Amino acid sequence: MVFYKLLDYCLVPRTVEEAMRELQSYPAMATALHSPSIVLQWMVQAGGIDCTEAQEKQPQCYCTSEAGKVICEEEKNNDGISRIMAAEPDLQPLYLQVLQACCEPRSREALESMLEAGGVQLPAGISPSYFMDRLESVDAIQWQGGWRLTERGRASLHLSIPVGSSHK
């Protein structure tokens, strides 16, 4: 999701400092193996972001390329949460349980305990952390000192709760 967020951020030309600061603000970068400057280099090399050279009174800037704009738009229209739930309909209640639990920050251990204590038999080969990994991969939850809902996750959860139900 870091790449998509950066593409969206650079739709408006950004200085090197602005792009670096933005990348460093992403929770996923706190545990990233590569520095923001490396991530930015990759985006330029892949053609998603254009780099303008510094000129007399204008600093070097980064701006989403035409190809990057297409990818950015496709991502905005992509609902990965619905896609993973549709691909695994038997697991949908467990995905929703994790999403609901993440309305408040939760540790990995707390989520695993919740799923294991839920009385639902997990399919062979699927551990509780599977749900966290899948939901993180579609930007539904993120780690910020605990698993929390993202805006995308919050919107998806809101759409998934039947009228008249409540959750904590």
Task: Enumerate domains of the chain plus CATH numbers.
Answer: 2-76 (1.10.10.10), 80-160 (1.10.10)
Contact of 68 with 86, CB cutoff 8 Å = no
- Ranges under pLDDT 50 in the chain: 161-168
pLDDT tens for 23-67 read: 988 877 877 788 888 989 999 999 999 998 877 788 889 999 999
Average pLDDT over the chain, rounded to an integer: 84
Of the candidates 77, 93, 88, 81, the residue with the CA atom closest to the CA atom of residue 156: 81
**pLDDT for residue 162:** 40
How much is the pTM? 0.60
Strands 61-64 and 141-143: unpaired
The residue behind tokens 């998509």 is: 4
